[in-house]
């Protein structure tokens, strides 16, 4: 059996996060699970509170927004393409009082469409919806983001 020394994708994403988005790393945002078509990330409540004792809105935004990059790393050829966010809407549902976890996924059909269009045109837009839940499973926020997979050098 061959020894695959490649680290898990969540480890790769966390390393990239530390160097490319240091403020998210400082917040304690951490990729939990990253695989083709799926990503989840968590962030602690401690150190991320606001003036009335719940998680600051920008922290909720960040833990959800980084999922677009995490899914892109897991689903597309990073030697050819990189992700960017073009627009993101957040819907606050309940105050976040505990650590939270954000999750998002893309279907295989959508991954195939994005890859085909990016190969053809050098870029492809895609929508990603994320759900942010507290430690009790209560939805505290939902996002809908417009992302783009773009070819390097374009």
Q: How confident is the model at residue 7 (pLDDT cuts 50, 70, 90)?
A: confident
Q: How confident is the model at residue 1 (pLDDT cuts 50, 70, 90)?
A: very low
> Model's pTM, two decimal places?
0.92
Does the structure show a pLDDT above 90 at 3?
A: no
In a domain, 135, yes or no: yes
Give tens-digit pLDDT for 98-129: 999 999 999 999 999 999 999 999 999 999 99
pLDDT (average), residues 138-146 = 98
Q: State how far the Cα of 121 lies from the Cα of 124, in Å rounded to an integer.
A: 7
Q: Which of the 8 DSSP states describes residue 106?
A: -
Does the structure show a pLDDT above 80 at 94?
A: yes
Give tens-digit pLDDT for 64-91: 999 999 999 999 999 999 999 999 999 9
Residues of the domain holding 123: 9-151
Q: What are the backbone dihedrals phi and psi of residue 9, each rounded to the nearest 5 degrees, phi first? A: -60, -35
130 within 8 A of 143, measured Cβ to Cβ: yes
In a domain, 2, yes or no: no
Q: What is the pLDDT of residue 16?
A: 87
Give tens-digit pLDDT for 13-67: 998 888 999 999 999 999 999 999 999 999 999 999 999 999 999 999 999 999 9
Q: State how far the Cα of 105 lies from the Cα of 101, in Å rounded to an integer.
A: 14
In a domain, 1, yes or no: no
The domain tally of the chain equals 1
In a domain, 35, yes or no: yes
Q: What is the pLDDT of residue 4?
A: 64
Q: At 27, which CATH number?
A: 3.10.129.10
Phi-psi region of 53 (alpha: psi -120 to 50; beta: other; left: phi over 0): left
In a domain, 89, yes or no: yes
Q: How confident is the model at residue 153 (pLDDT cuts 50, 70, 90)?
A: confident
Rg of the chain on CA atoms, in Å: 16
In a domain, 13, yes or no: yes
In a domain, 3, yes or no: no
């Amino acid at each position: 059996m061959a020894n695959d020394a490649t680290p898990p994708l969540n480890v790769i994403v966390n390393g990239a996060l530390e160097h490319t988005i240091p403020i998210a790393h400082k917040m304690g945002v951490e990729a939990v699970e990253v695989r083709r078509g799926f990503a989840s990330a968590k962030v602690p409540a401690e150190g991320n509170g606001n003036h009335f004792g719940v998680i600051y809105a920008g922290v909720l935004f960040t833990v959800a927004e980084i999922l677009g990059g995490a899914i892109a790393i897991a689903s597309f050829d990073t030697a050819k393409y990189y992700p960017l966010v073009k627009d993101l809407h957040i819907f606050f549902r309940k105050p976040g009082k505990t650590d939270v976890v954000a999750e998002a996924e893309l279907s295989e059909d959508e991954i195939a469409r994005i890859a085909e269009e990016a190969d053809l045109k050098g870029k492809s837009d895609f929508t990603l919806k994320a759900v942010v839940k507290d430690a009790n499973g209560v939805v505290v926020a939902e996002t809908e983001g417009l992302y783009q997979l773009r070819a390097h050098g374009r």
